Structure 1
C-alpha cells in the first residue's frame, strides 16, 4: 500500500507577492497582464476569488468583477527560486518527488521511517516547515495513490490537510462527483451526465462492457478511478512532452494575412526551445492554436516527424477558417515530442462519442 502526499501551494504567485510586500496583503490581488495590453490573469489571492476572479480570465473582465483589484506583473525568476526552496524542504523527507509545476508535487513516503512512518505527520511537518522557513502556506492531501491524493489536497484549501485512509476509499469514491476526477472536463462531465452518470457509484453500477465500448481505454481509466484505483508510481524524472509558444495580441486581427508576420515571430521563439528539448529536431506532431474574440478557441494538429514552417501556415489557415469570420485575439504554436513510452494514464480523458 503506497503512502502518497500531494502538496499544493496556496495561490502561490500571489502569496509570494504578499509575503514580500505587506501592503498587498488583505486586498484583492492578481498576477497578470495589464488591461491595456489584453492581459490575462495568471493567478489571484482568495480576496479576489470572492469577487469571482479566476486564473485565465481576461484582466479587463476581472476588473469589471472587482474594480478594486490590484493587478501586478509576475516575477517568474522569484517564483522559480522559491519553488526550488520548497522542493528542498520536500527533500528533507523523501527523495521520491514528482514536481507537477512550480507550486505542486507528489511525494511518495511509503518507505519513510520519519515520524514513525506516518504520512499524515510527514505532511503536517512539511507544511509547518514551509510556513516557518518561507512564510507561505500549503495544502496537502494524503492517500493511497496519486489520483486520490490530488483530489484530497483541494478539499481543505487554503492552508489545510485532508487524509484519506485506505478503509475510507470505497465510500469516498462512491460519492465523488465525476467532474472532480482529473481528466474529466466540463464537456466530458456533461456527456456522462446525459448517460445518467454523476458520481463514482453511478459508474460502478453502469455496465463495464458498455463503457469500454463507448470510450475504449479512457473508459477503462474511468472505471479504475471510480473504484479508487491508480497504479501510477511517483516519477522522479518526468519527460517533457511538448514545447509551445503563444501570444495574446494587443488588438484583434480580422484577416489571416495579418497573422502571418506574428506566425513568423512565434516560430523564431519556438525553434530555440525545440532545440533545447529535442536537439535532433524530431517531433511527432505540430499544431496551431487560435483563440477568437469571444474566447472560444480551436487547435489544429498534424502528425509529422519534423517541424515545418509551411505546415504551420496551412494549419493557421485551417484554424482561422473555423472562426467563420470572427476576429482573433490569441495565436499559439506547439509541437509534441517523441516519448519513450506513451502512458494512457497521463492523457486527458477523451470521452467523445
Structure 2
C-alpha cells in the first residue's frame, strides 16, 4: 500500500449466534436462530441473530416480539462463558500466523492486525492474507468472518463496517482515494466508526450530515462544539488515523478506576435500590482488596425510569415495559432514541434518561469496607430522588493506586484495619474456592436483591 502500512480488521459474523449454531450442528448462514433468554419477556433484546433472520428485515439487536409470526426459529439461551472460550480459541488461531505484538483485540468478536510485516513473509497480497486467516477460523471453528483492509486502523474499520457488507468475498478495502470517493459522502454518518447519534445530532445543527461536510466546516467551529474531541473528528473526516497497534500496546493511562453497574430488572423504590447499592459496593470493595488497590474518590450514577413525554405526563414503567426503560421524546415530539446494530439507546447516551449522582474526592485513600460503604450510602441518600422509580445504578472508585499508598493518620486503628483486611481476604478465598454465592450478606437475601443472580452471570447474562 502506498501509505506504508496495511491493517486488517476481522469481525466474526453474528458471533454468538454462529457459536450456538455450530454447537447444535446447524449452518450459521442458513439456520434461523436468535440468542435471547427465554425466561425473560418477549420484550427482551436478542443478543445476536443469524444472517437468515437478518434477511427477514430484523436488526441484529431486535426484540423477540419483533420476530414475525410464523417464522420457525431456535431461541438459544446466552452462554457468555462459552463465547469467551470460543473467542480465545479464535485468537489462538490468529497467533499461528502473527505475533501478539501485532494484534489488538478490540472486542470479543473483533480484532485489528498489523499485516505489514507478514505480507512479504507469506508472499501475499492483503486480501490473500485476510482470506488465509478467515479460512483458518472457518475450518477450525465453523464460524464465518468478514474483514476490512486499510492503510490505517480507521480505514480498516470503516472498510469492515461499510464496504465489506457489499463485497461477495466479505472483504472490504479502502485506500485514501476510495475513502474520499465513497465514504466521505456516505450517509447516515452514524455508520462511521466512533460517530454516534449524539455527535450526528450536534453536526446536524450546522446542516452537516456526512464526513465531506465535516471537512468543509471551520475547525474553530468544530473545536467550539466538541472541544478536544474535534481533533479525532477532523482526522477521521479526512481518513487520517495516526495511532498504531504499537501505540495502543504502549499506552499508559494517567489515572485508573474501577466500577460496576447494572440495569435493574424493573422499577425499584429508593429503599430497594439502596439495598442493591450495598451489594454493589460490597463487590467493589472486594475487587479493590483482591487487586491490592486503594481508591481516592467515589462516584455514583442513578438513572430513573421516569421520563418526560410530549404530553407532559410521566412514563414511569414497571418490569417488561413495552417502550423500554424510561423512554423520552424530544421537544418536537420525536423519539430521542437511536436504533442501531448495538441496540436501542438514547441519542444523548445515558444523559437521555433522568439521572442523579456525583463524584467525591476522599480525604484518604482506602479499600476498607467500613469506610467506603458509609460514604457511598451518604452520597446515595444526599443525591438520589425518593419520588421516582430507579432503573440503573453505577458505582465507581477513582484515583486508584497500589495498596502501599493507603493513607494512614494518627487517628487510624492500624490493628483493626489489618483485621478487616484479613477478613475480606478470607471472604475472597472462600468465594474463590466455593463460588461467589458461598458467602453472602443478609441484604442479598431480600426479595429485590440482585447479587445472587448476578454472581452466576457474565456481563449480565447467563454464564
TM class by shorter chain equals 0.7 to 0.9
**1 CA distance for matches of 2:289 and 2:43?**
30
**Of 35, 40, 45, which aligns to 1:35?**
40
Q: Residues 118 and 291 from structure 1, CA distance in 2 versus in 1: closer, same or farther, beyond 3 angstroms?
A: farther
Corresponding residue for residue 302 of structure 1: 359
Identify which range, 123-132 or 279-288, moves more after superposition. 279-288
Corresponding residue for residue 101 of structure 1: 107
Corresponding residue for residue 9 of structure 1: 12
**1 CA distance for matches of 2:296 and 2:115?**
36
Corresponding residue for residue 295 of structure 2: 282
Corresponding residue for residue 249 of structure 1: 264
1:83 matches 2:87: yes
Runs (5+) with no aligned partner, structure 2: 306-316, 318-323, 327-352, 402-463
Is the contact between residue 357 and residue 384 of structure 2 (CA under 8 Å) also seen in structure 1? no
**2 CA distance for matches of 1:33 and 1:188?**
35
1:204 matches 2:215: yes
Corresponding residue for residue 164 of structure 1: 174
Deviations 1:169-188 (A, max 9, x none): 33244224432333322122
Runs (5+) with no aligned partner, structure 1: 340-353
Identify which range, 239-248 or 133-142, moves more after superposition. 239-248
Aligned length: 331
Q: Residues 175 and 310 from structure 1, CA distance in 2 versus in 1: closer, same or farther, beyond 3 angstroms?
A: farther
**Of 276, 281, 288, which aligns to 1:262?**
276
Q: Residues 94 and 17 from structure 1, CA distance in 2 versus in 1: closer, same or farther, beyond 3 angstroms?
A: same
The structure with more radius of gyration: 2
Q: Please report how far the alpha carbon of residue 77 of structure 1 lies from its aligned counterpart in structure 2 after TM superposition.
A: 2.2
Corresponding residue for residue 127 of structure 2: 120
Is the contact between residue 304 and residue 390 of structure 2 (CA under 8 Å) also seen in structure 1? yes
Q: Residues 328 and 144 from structure 1, CA distance in 2 versus in 1: closer, same or farther, beyond 3 angstroms?
A: same
Query: In angstroms, what is the RMSD of aligned CA positions?
Result: 3.2
Corresponding residue for residue 62 of structure 1: 64
Structure 1 segments, 4+ long, off by >6 Å, are 237-241
SS of alignment partner, residue 41 of structure 1: coil
**2 CA distance for matches of 1:311 and 1:51?**
49
SS of alignment partner, residue 36 of structure 2: strand
Corresponding residue for residue 238 of structure 2: 227
Deviations 1:37-87 (A, max 9, x none): 9855333323444453543x6xxx523544556433222222122111111
Identify which range, 74-83 or 297-306, moves more after superposition. 297-306
**Of 194, 197, 204, which aligns to 1:183?**
194
**1 CA distance for matches of 2:217 and 2:202?**
14
**2 CA distance for matches of 1:105 and 1:299?**
36
SS of alignment partner, residue 131 of structure 1: helix
Q: Please report how far the alpha carbon of residue 265 of structure 1 lies from its aligned counterpart in structure 2 after TM superposition.
A: 1.4
TM-score when scaled to structure 1? 0.80
Q: Residues 236 and 132 from structure 1, CA distance in 2 versus in 1: closer, same or farther, beyond 3 angstroms?
A: farther
Q: Residues 121 and 64 from structure 1, CA distance in 2 versus in 1: closer, same or farther, beyond 3 angstroms?
A: closer
Identify which range, 103-112 or 39-48, moves more after superposition. 39-48
SS of alignment partner, residue 22 of structure 1: coil
Q: Residues 190 and 336 from structure 1, CA distance in 2 versus in 1: closer, same or farther, beyond 3 angstroms?
A: same
Corresponding residue for residue 351 of structure 1: none
1:331 matches 2:336: no
Deviations 1:204-224 (A, max 9, x none): 111122212332211121111
SS of alignment partner, residue 19 of structure 1: helix
Corresponding residue for residue 135 of structure 1: 142
TM-score when scaled to structure 2? 0.63
**1 CA distance for matches of 2:105 and 2:122?**
23
Identify which range, 105-114 or 15-24, moves more after superposition. 15-24
Q: Please report how far the alpha carbon of residue 24 of structure 1 lies from its aligned counterpart in structure 2 after TM superposition.
A: 8.6
**1 CA distance for matches of 2:382 and 2:33?**
41
Corresponding residue for residue 216 of structure 1: 227
